[in-house]
Structure 1
Amino acid sequence: MGQVGENYVAIFGWRAQYGLSKLQIAYITRSPFQQLLQEGHRRRVVNAFLERFVDRRYAPRNNWCRDPTGRTRGEYDNLMQLIGGFSPGSNSSDSWRWVMSTNGIFTTKKLNNIIMEKVFEGEKSQPETSRKPLIPKKMEIFIWRARKKRLPTLCELDKRGIDLHSVRCSICDDDVENIDHALIFCKCAYDVWSRIYNWWNLGPYVNTSIAETFAGSVNQNMSKIGAKLWQAVEWTCGYLIWKNRNSKVFKNKSLCVASLVNEIQVLSFDWNSKRLKGPKIDWCSWLANPHQYLFIT
């Protein structure tokens, strides 16, 4: 909570369009003047804030039981600056106005847009294709969590004080399980990425971080449609690697690399072929030579 005047104007993002009223007086007498109220001067403190309009202008009655000092005085002066020039309309009624909207009307859609802008403002540097991907919403959320290192890997759980028997990777047991290891450097994950890159004829897989892996760009000359298709393959790959990891942790079952690659091929084709607006994708060419789709228009 900031100062009284500031709090009063923007409590939970709302602004009251009237002068001092019973609601305001109740707010003021609760905080931050507790030290005055505790001394049995509640009535005199309330009277000090009762409105008195002279020529339709607010004028406070400063009949304090004792003069406020320090922080209390500063808060009171700020409040007086805020409401000192207020003049109520003759026919206006009390109402609420939401300051985050130009028309002052609160809507859940507007609030949702504001939240999404704040949450994803760090993603503005990502390629344009990441804004309208061809994959389901749940996968977008997964990729965002992976980039922000907010997946519940064993290392992240250990950092948050959860007592674990071990933080080593449950798939390969070669290293501690952080996000980069779980999705990239685990032997199973790395083999899957290598086969996916080989399937798309992109050469060896050499990315060293989550940001590089999910960047969605492997060729500067690829078209926008090609970038969308490849992005869907990348994100599907990461999502299914994580899903396979969870299956191992919670059910003690996991797919082999070949089966995991086959599932990525089928699922990415299904989403791309159904969601892509434009040229049709052929299943046979998708399996045999998907590299051609990087340059499709």
Structure 2
Amino acid sequence: MDKWEWKLQSNGQFSTHTLSKMIDSKQLQHFVSQHETDRLQILPQKIGILTWRVKKRRIPVRVELDNRGVDLDSVRCPVCNNDLETVDHIFLHCNFAKDLWARVLRWWKASGPSYSNLEELFCGVHDPSQINQHSNIWKAIE
């Protein structure tokens, strides 16, 4: 009897999960160093990729899209309309982002300093007294 055999899995059965993991691992090798991917193993893969994109400023915010010639009605943040939509704004300064950070820190039973930009956040300027059970997650995100 003829049948298809999937060589990338030991049981010969095709699965989209296996294919997806294979594609992701190959794509990540081109963009992220092995050291970076090792640090990100404790995080869900999507969070690791988002963190990498934020660090590299590869998030399609309105200011960047406008700089690339995309015609937009406004470059202001659509959530708060208080400032330009930049990577720093959407992850640190927008009221929504501030509230989200406060909730995460409360969940972690920690307090955190405020940052003026993402470079400060990722440089690891933290209070050593705040190290707790979530410090490995924070180190991976940095």
* Residues 133, 231 of structure 1: 8 Å contact kept: no
Higher radius of gyration, 1 or 2: 1
Residue matched to 1:194: 102
The answer to whether structure 1 residue 180 and structure 2 residue 92 are counterparts is no
CA distance in 2: counterparts of 1:199 and 1:161, whole angstroms: 41
Residue matched to 2:72: 164
CA distance in 2: counterparts of 1:197 and 1:210, whole angstroms: 17
AA at the equivalent of 1:119: F
Residue matched to 2:60: 152
Give ranges in structure 2 of 5+ residues lacking alignment: 1-25
What SS does structure 2 have at the residue aligned with 1:162? coil
What SS does structure 1 have at the residue aligned with 2:41? coil
Question: Could you give the per-residue CA deviations for residues 221-262 of structure 1, whole angstroms, max 9, x where no partner exists?
Answer: 748x74223457x69xxxxxxxxxxxxxxxxxxxxxxxxxxx
Displacement after TM superposition at 1:134 (Å): 1.9
CA distance 1:119–1:143, shift in 2 (3 Å): same
Residue matched to 1:120: 32
CA distance in 2: counterparts of 1:132 and 1:195, whole angstroms: 22
| Greater RCO structure (CA 8 Å; 6+ sep) | 2
Aligned residues: 118
CA distance in 1: counterparts of 2:77 and 2:89, whole angstroms: 8
CA distance 1:181–1:220, shift in 2 (3 Å): same
Moved over 4 A (4+): 214-217
Displacement after TM superposition at 1:191 (Å): 1.9
Question: Could you give the per-residue CA deviations for residues 178-237 of structure 1, whole angstroms, max 9, x where no partner exists?
Answer: 1000111001111221232234343354122223334567454748x74223457x69xx
* Residues 180, 210 of structure 1: 8 Å contact kept: yes
What SS does structure 2 have at the residue aligned with 1:195? helix
* Residues 198, 204 of structure 1: 8 Å contact kept: no
* Residues 108, 134 of structure 2: 8 Å contact kept: no
Task: Give aligned-pair identity as a percent.
Answer: 33
AA at the equivalent of 2:65: L
